[in-house]
Amino acid sequence: MFSRKEEDPLKRVKETAQQGLEDERERLERERELLATERAQLEKLRAELEAKEEHLEELEDQLEDLEDELDDHEEELEDAESVRELLEIMSEGIPSLMRGINDAMYTPEAMKRVATAISTYYQTLIDAGMDKEMAERLTTVQASQMSRMVSGHTIRPGRPAPPPPPPIDASQWKAQFEKDFPEKGD
Domain residues for the domain of 3 are: 1-94
- pLDDT score recorded for residue 155: 46
Dist. CA 168–CA 30, nearest whole Å: 119
Phi-psi region of 185 (alpha: psi -120 to 50; beta: other; left: phi over 0): left
Binned at pLDDT 50, 70 and 90, residue 165 comes out as: low
Query: For the range 105-113, what are the long-range contacts, defined as Cβ-Cβ under 8 Å and sequence gap of 24 or more?
Result: 105/150, 105/153, 105/154
- 5 and 59 part of one domain: yes
- pLDDT score recorded for residue 98: 76
Arithmetic mean of pLDDT, 142-158:
65
pLDDT value at 172 more than 90:
no
- The residue ranking higher by pLDDT, 69 or 112, is 69
Last residue of a domain, one of 68, 94, 120: 94
Q: Which of 69-78, 140-149, 152-161 has the lowest mean pLDDT?
A: 152-161
- The residue ranking higher by pLDDT, 123 or 146, is 123
- 1 and 82 part of one domain: yes
CA nearest to 134, candidates 86, 101, 176, 96: 176
Binned at pLDDT 50, 70 and 90, residue 152 comes out as: low
Mean pLDDT of the chain: 81
- The residue ranking higher by pLDDT, 127 or 176, is 127
pLDDT value at 106 more than 50:
yes
- pLDDT score recorded for residue 48: 92
Instruction: Report CA torsion sign: 64, 66, 69, 74.
Output: negative
- 80 and 113 part of one domain: no
Q: At what angle do helices 132-151 and 108-127 cross, to 10 degrees?
A: 150
Does 101 map to a domain?
A: no
Tally the domains of the chain.
2
Q: What percent of the chain has pLDDT over 70?
A: 81
Binned at pLDDT 50, 70 and 90, residue 162 comes out as: low
Does 144 map to a domain?
A: yes
